[in-house]
Structure 1
């Protein structure tokens, strides 16, 4: 007897999911700007079905319409999935900087990179991992690291986050814990990543020399990750 579909999934839905993935593959192969009519012809799908799948994929941000509204291109969600599938590989020198920093820290040390306007977790502290790295990448305002990118875009900071140094380090406090995040910039001054310390609220409110240590380490990492 064939397996029955999982609860909540009808017999038709797996076929629809396959069709949607096929549309994504076709857009990737045919290139940005491909029209619904071209996709329908290339895939042998009824035009009405093609339009329905395209509208669903645009609604969920897997596809976007081109500026002239006549074609389609891959969206940020697809780009994000591709980035997640290929782990960031740090050099031995970069890992040495992180290891040295963690050896003297009483909390978590995390490194992220900013790729095409997205936050990519490059190295989360194994002893104090990020609570929800996917949310951190998706909702920038929820972490000090994400707020570094918001500041770069000229956006206002949320109430729980504030700048604490002239070198751009941000402090974020929520409940009994908090985070310090400092920007990593390349030789041209462009934001390429962020280095953060997460720990107790008391440690974040009175960081003493922690801010300087983070900023100095960010300077060491800059040529190693950009």
Structure 2
């Protein structure tokens, strides 16, 4: 008598199929609603037939849905069960500190949380919207806030599923990125100059729990690449000052 289906060992192809299905889900999250099967196939370098088969399976199981015009896909209701609960909105006192910094600089000011080891934007500048939250969370190597998170990891490579290149300035060489992450850890300061968008840059400093010293958040200024991410002592001092004010409020 053959063993029950649930106890049968995995075949050689099954683990790869599972990885591909998860990669498809990740791509839909990163690309956003409306991404097409063709775009997913190209991004993941999967054969079109394999991509369509995985998409149909994920739709049937409720993890994805087809948009009404049938031209693209979005996350389904079951996908919500796979996510970590969003970080809580910062308290009013913390939001007030962030707003004071916005009044002192001409560019965008953003606050991110590292709740559960994941980058989550919790206070973004409405006048200077940042890159999409899903992209920032999935590709931490390409943002200043993401590099703060990598610098806090025992092994930053485990937090980077893919070193995707967004522009010619995106650091995708593992050795170079390792040096940069080590520098961020030493200086407690991260820079990103044209790595997500050619003309945009970002400067970020960490916020640590005052009692445990754990990394809890990051404060960033984004704007023209050379003006923000280049040498800017006054801007670094402003960021550090306000990060210090935020630390006891975000514990």
TM-score (norm 2): 0.55
Contact 1:110–1:124 (Cα < 8 Å) also in 2: yes
Contact 1:110–1:123 (Cα < 8 Å) also in 2: yes
The structure richer in strand per residue is 1
Paired residues in the alignment total 163
Cα deviations by residue, 1:203-226 (Å, 9 ceiling, x for unpaired)? 221323110110111111111112
* CA shift for structure 1 position 179: 0.5
- Does the residue aligned with 2:219 lie in a helix, a strand or coil? strand
| Aligned counterparts of 1:209 and 1:155: Cα–Cα separation in 2 | 30
- Does the residue aligned with 1:116 lie in a helix, a strand or coil? helix
Larger of the two Rg values belongs to structure: 1
* Alignment partner of 2:245 out of 210, 217, 220: 220
Query: Residues 116 and 80 (structure 1 numbering): CA distance in 2 closer, same or farther, change over 3 Å?
Result: farther
Cα deviations by residue, 1:25-49 (Å, 9 ceiling, x for unpaired)? xxxxxxxxxxxx8xxxxxxxx859x
* CA shift for structure 1 position 57: 6.5
* CA shift for structure 1 position 129: 0.9
**Partner residue in 2 for 1:142:** 142
Runs (4+) of structure 1 exceeding 4 A deviation are: 54-59, 77-80, 159-167
* CA shift for structure 1 position 124: 1.0
| Aligned counterparts of 1:80 and 1:152: Cα–Cα separation in 2 | 24
1:192 matched to 2:216? The reply is: yes
- The unaligned stretches of length 5 or more in structure 1 are 1-36, 38-45, 63-76
Contact 1:118–1:137 (Cα < 8 Å) also in 2: yes
Contact 1:184–1:191 (Cα < 8 Å) also in 2: yes
